[in-house]
Amino acid sequence: MTASLEPRVHEICNSYVDSYARLYPTAATEFGITGHDDSLPDLSPEGHREREQLARQALRAIEAAHPRDEAERVAKAVFAERIGLEVEIHAAGLPAGSLNMTWSPVQEVRQAFDLMPTDTDDDRAAIARRLGQVPASLAGYQVSLLAAADHGIVPAIRQVERVVEQCRTWSDGYFTGLDQPDEQAARAAAGAYAELGRFLAEELAPRAGRHDTVGADVYRLWSRKYLGADLDLADAYAWGWEEFGRVERELLETAARIAGGGGPAEAAAVLDADPKYTIGGQKAFEQWLQELSDRALAELRGKHFDIPDELMRLECRIAPSGGGMGAYYTNPADDFSRPGQMWWSLPRDREEFSTWRELSTVYHEGVPGHHLQIGTAVGTAGLNRFQRLLCFIDGHGEGWALYAERLMREFGYLDDGQLLGMLNKSLFRAARVIVDIGMHLELAIPAGTGFHEGERWTPELGLEFLATRTLTDTARARDEIDRYLGWPGQAPSYKLGERLWLELREEARSRRGAAFDLRQFHMDALRRGPAGLGTLRDLVLPPDQAVS
């Protein structure tokens, strides 16, 4: 085949997006790829084999492709790393056995309905058709879980029990409350979740693992997925402790200013009692989120970032109850017909909110965090559809969003109370590096840390660490520990990614000297699209930026 007839890199990537969206429609909905909202993925072993075959074919094609310019060289490197890792994960049999309380097919299928439009009769009819497929999709999922268990791939009992709770919550009113015309389909979907809960409790639970952690080999594989790089686990664990100590010292200094020499707990009590930081009711909290996001968009546009008209709309919403606690962002659609959305998952009975704790997270999920970062990629014409829509690497994305919180401090947007909240979030993310790696590898706690020195990490110690060394209530700390254990390697990506973004900024400043422009650095980096941490440096700091 002559070079002129060879598939181009961007063509291979775009074709993969089309095929993957067809085989995994919930991901298409999540990432704003239109045209697949009325179907659900085949979660049976056959469905997993189809997706594995697609990944293998795409990997062979991209490896044989010859980039014709710099954009294609970058696109090939990003695609080959991502899809090569997908092949490895499939070969290990991990997708078929995926079950955890944070992000697995159980949550994906349910959340897909949150993202579907309801404006027209056609929209509501699409919801009904998708609801009608829930029983078959979850039935196939059960077959896969049993097949994986036959090969020794089983979730821990902790994850099974948490998902059983979620199934009970979502089978009781969520589907029948959707705006769509087919009540029978809604009842069938609710029944399918009730049946999945029964299956998990009665058939899978007896086979579930009693050991929560995954060990070094599986952990490294998942860590590569979330970072896009081979992580030196010993170095990351040691750095996590260093960063925790650095942030903790600044947190103590800030708390002393607020509480007249008192510590973090005393400062938190002062701020919680201050009416200017207090909101009552979930609806009022949702309104506060929207107003703060709208203000950030208006004030940052043109001054610190280039924000096009399509990104000036960001919807802030309270998520349906039942999932893990916390905030998350969902992509705009490819054509921006669906805006970017910030979701806040809360306990049903929570009605009091201290905004000093939450402010920096709004910037993390919105602007200048995920909404600016992901929306910029979606709207950048020079990227292929894989780069714009389907490629999210946590180390790159969550690292940027955590870096964005720090930027808002640098831009002067935080008072001392809000700074305490941001520092606590940063401390919390440093704790994630320590606890996530420490628990899964059962590492020893170093001397000089003031916490169970010499003992090896357990979930119980992880819970105690979060509850006593950060400003995290026990319920949220317990939720976090369950998340780390069921989603290994993901939680450290925030801090480790931020670490690299900061290093890149300082290296760019050093290279460019007086010519360095922070706004240009940020926009150039975002317009290059997502990349694993192993290739991000070359992407953001190409050799031609060097200054003699």
- What are 94-113's pLDDT values in tens digits? 999 999 999 999 999 999 99
Q: Which of 476, 493, 510 is the last residue of a domain?
A: 493
Same domain, 239 and 200: no
Boundaries of domain holding 422 = 225-493
In the predicted model, what is the mean pLDDT of residues 461-486?
A: 94
In sequence order, the 6+-apart residues with CB closer than 8 A to the CB of 2 are none
Asked if 463 and 481 touch (Cβ cutoff 8 Å), the reply is: yes
What confidence tier does 540 reach under pLDDT thresholds 50, 70, 90? Answer: confident
Across the chain, what does the average pLDDT equal? 94
- Domain membership flag for residue 546: no
**Confidence band (pLDDT; 50, 70, 90) for 442?**
very high
Largest Cα–Cα separation, the chain? 75
Closest CA relative to residue 43, chosen from 29, 26, 19, 18: 26
Decide if 220 is inside a domain.
no
pLDDT band at residue 321 using 50, 70 and 90 as cut-offs: confident
Rounded to an integer, the average pLDDT of 446-475 is 95
Q: Is a pLDDT exceeding 60 seen at residue 388?
A: yes
CA atoms of 49 and 339, how far apart (whole Å):
33
Residue 271 tokens read as 């701020």
Q: How confident is the model at residue 2 (pLDDT cuts 50, 70, 90)?
A: very low
Beta bridge partners of 340: 314
Q: Quick one: 235 and 170 in the same domain?
A: no
Per the domain annotation, does 216 fall within a domain? no
Angle at 477 between CA 486 and CA 115, to 5 degrees: 60
Mean pLDDT calculated for residue range 494-522 = 96
Q: How many residues does the chain have?
A: 548
Alpha helices (H) in 208-331, listed in sequence order: 216-227, 233-258, 264-272, 282-300
Cα 435 from Cα 278, distance rounded (Å): 31
Confirm whether 113 is domain-assigned: yes
Is 531's pLDDT higher than 50?
A: yes
Question: Looking at the predicted structure, is the pLDDT value of residue 538 above 90?
Answer: no
* pLDDT value, residue 473: 86
| Residue 544 within any structural domain of the chain | no
Q: Which pTM does this prediction carry?
A: 0.93
On whether both 204 and 311 belong to a single domain, the answer is no
Q: How confident is the model at residue 324 (pLDDT cuts 50, 70, 90)?
A: low
Percent of the chain with pLDDT over 90: 91
Structurally, how many domains does the chain consist of?
2
Same-domain pairing of 195 and 231: no
Averaged pLDDT for residues 217-224: 95
pLDDT at 548 over 80: no
Distance CA 93, CA 222 (A): 13
- Residues in Cβ contact with 233 at an 8 Å cutoff, skipping those fewer than 6 apart: 216, 219, 220, 223, 437, 441
Give the separation between CA 197 and CA 192, rounded to whole angstroms. Answer: 9
Task: Return the DSSP state at 513.
Answer: G
Q: State the pLDDT at residue 544.
A: 58
Q: What is the pLDDT of residue 197?
A: 98
| 46-84 core/surface letters (b: 16 or more CB in 10 A; e: else) | ebbebbbebbbebbebbeebebeeebbebbbbbbbbbbb
Q: The tokens of 14 are what?
A: 């775009």
The reported pLDDT for the residue numbered 348 is: 81
What CA–CA distance (Å, rounded) separates 330 from 320?
A: 14
Cβ contact 157:210 at 8 Å: yes
State whether 21 and 75 are in the same domain.
yes
Residues 205 and 230 reside in one and the same domain: no
Q: Which residues contact 536 (CB under 8 A, 6 or more apart)?
A: 228, 396, 500, 504
Does 321 share its domain with 467? yes
Contact 78, 391 (CB under 8 A): yes
Percent of the chain with pLDDT over 70: 97
pLDDT digits (tens, 9 = 90+) for 325-351: 689 999 999 999 999 999 998 888 889
For 47-80, what is each residue's pLDDT tens digit?
999 999 999 999 999 999 999 999 999 999 999 9
Do the domain assignments include residue 502? no
Band of the pLDDT at 547, cuts 50, 70, 90? very low
Give the three-class secondary structure for 99: coil
Q: Which residue matches tokens 């309104």?
A: 287
For residues 366 and 487, membership in a common domain is answered with yes
Bridge partners of residue 423, in order along the sequence: none
Q: Tell me: do 72 and 176 sit in the same domain.
A: yes
Do 139 and 16 sit in the same domain of this protein?
Answer: yes
Q: Give the integer Cα–Cα distance in Å for 320 and 336.
A: 23
- pLDDT above 70 (res 1): no
Does residue 261 come out as left (phi exceeding 0), alpha (psi in the -120 to 50 range) or beta? left
Residues 272 and 184 in one domain: no
Is the residue at 111 inside a domain? yes
Q: Choose among 16, 24, 21, 18: nearest CA to 40.
A: 24
Instruction: Tell me: do 388 and 416 sit in the same domain.
Output: yes
